[in-house]
Amino acid sequence: DSGVTQTPKHLITATGQRVTLRCSPRSGDLSVYWYQQSLDQGLQFLIQYYNGEERAKGNILERFSAQQFPDLHSELNLSSLELGDSALYFCASSVDQGDTEAFFGQGTRLTVV
């Protein structure tokens, strides 16, 4: 158990809908990262937050947004969903913003039908 909690574990929704994925980082970690993993693909970095502020952006679509709240949990919002958005979405956390060791949650499997 990495200490990072993601909910829900599975999500099935229709095209055009909007969903919110939630992440609770390890106790004491200030950085949160979001990654997308498509079937048999590597992990695509989406976005990073540190202590409530956005720190880095990767290949995140404009339809996607995220935020980190004062209690340090984070949410990833995916809107106008398309079939191609079906993937595993991982959240990771680390103590500081420059850490190479990040702790990953179990992921949320999103299926868009």
Partner 1 sequence: GESVGLHLPTLSVQEGDNSIINCAYSNSASDYFIWYKQESGKGPQFIIDIRSNMDKRQGQRVTVLLNKTVKHLSLQIAATQPGDSAVYFCAENTGGFKTIFGAGTRLFVKA
Q: What is the rounded distance in angstroms from the CA atom of residue 85 to the CA atom of residue 83?
A: 5
Q: Are 74 and 34 in contact (CB under 8 A)?
A: yes
Q: Does 73 bind partner 1 (CB under 8 A)?
A: no
Q: Of 33, 64, 68, 76, which lies in the binding site for partner 1, with binding defined by CB under 8 A? A: 33
Q: What is the rounded distance in angstroms from the CA atom of residue 82 to the CA atom of residue 57?
A: 21
The count of chain residues that interact with partner 1, using the rule CB under 8 A, is 26
Q: Does 52 bind partner 1 (CB under 8 A)?
A: no
Q: Does 43 bind partner 1 (CB under 8 A)?
A: yes
Nearest-approach distance from CB 14 to partner 1, in angstroms: 25
Q: What is the rounded distance in angstroms from the CA atom of residue 97 to the CA atom of residue 113?
A: 36
Say which residues have a Cβ less than 8 Å from residue 77's Cβ, sequence separation at least 6.
18, 19, 20, 21, 64, 65, 66
Choice between 20 and 97, CB closer to partner 1: 97
Choice between 4 and 78, CB closer to partner 1: 4
Q: Does 101 bind partner 1 (CB under 8 A)?
A: yes
36 by DSSP, 3-state: which? strand
- Site residues for partner 1 per CB under 8 A: 2, 4, 33, 35, 41-45, 48, 55-56, 58, 90, 92, 97-107
